[in-house]
Structure 1
Amino acid sequence: MMTTGTQAKPQSPERVVVLGASPNEERYANKAMKMLLEYGHQPIPVNPGFEEILGIKCYKSIAEVPGPVDTVTLYLGEARSEPLIADILATKPRRIIFNPGAENAHLAQEAKAIGIEPVEACTLVLLRTGQY
């Protein structure tokens, strides 16, 4: 078992959409799902290719995710996230984390314009360093 010190439990658990979630353990989206669970958050996988990831129901689109969303952590390149901008913004998360390789200036600009914080960072690093 990995020891993470006192940072392992968040101040308040978040509902986190993992856009581009994957069951492949080599993918950072999968590592993020595991680490979000480890830190007490509720990851919500979104990927049309899978029924479930890590035993958690996987939604076909972000528009299907029920209830409030605190954070969207993005693991899709710009070409794949561009058509999803309206659906991402409609979830009204507090912030969108653009993981390395998932930067999208258009989405970031649109998010900021409606009060959603765009964050260019790595979810794994944010969690590990207590900055999440």
Structure 2
Amino acid sequence: MKKKTLVFGASLNPSRYSNTAVHRLIAHGHEVVAFGLREGEVAGVKIDAELKPYHGIDTVTLYMNATRQEPFYDYLISLKPNRVIFNPGTENPEFFDLLNQEQIEFEAACTLVLLGTNQY
């Protein structure tokens, strides 16, 4: 089953993992929406620089370090995703607790590895 994914912290820079994640998610047939600090486009996906009320998000994959996540807690929870993936360097125990309270699954994992091993 293909999962609608929000790449949160998406970058236009092709050397960034979030950029690679957009490409690989598309290549695996997933629907992708993206939020980043700069608007632009990656692999045909528009990166929004303002928060949108996305609907039907299965997975949020985070590419933003823990100190930068705090202003977005309520927004990300409001999307009611089925899960949040904390990519390496984004792990955040405070956000883990909030997600637990909202019964939203989360995992500290690498989206690229999950895709590459068919565990996404």
Q: TM-score, normalised by structure 2?
A: 0.93
Cα pair distance change 1:119/1:103, threshold 3 Å: same
Q: Partner residue of 1:18? A: 7
The answer (yes or no) to whether the contact 2:5–2:61 under 8 Å persists in 1 is: yes
Count of residues in Structure 1 that have an aligned counterpart in Structure 2 = 120
Q: What are structure 1's unaligned runs of at least 5 residues?
A: 1-11
Moved beyond 4 Å, runs of 4+? none
Q: Partner residue of 1:125? A: 113
- Aligned residues with identical type, % of pairs: 38
Distance in structure 2 (CA, Å) of the matches to 1:58 and 1:84:
16
The answer (yes or no) to whether the contact 2:26–2:43 under 8 Å persists in 1 is: no
User: Aligned letter for 1:23?
Assistant: L
Give deviations 1:35-82, integer Å, cap 9, x for gaps.
101111012110131133332222224x40432110000000011111
Q: Partner residue of 1:68? A: 56
User: Aligned letter for 2:9?
Assistant: G
The answer (yes or no) to whether the contact 1:23–1:54 under 8 Å persists in 2 is: no
Provide the alpha-carbon RMSD of the alignment. Answer: 1.2
Q: Partner residue of 1:45? A: 34
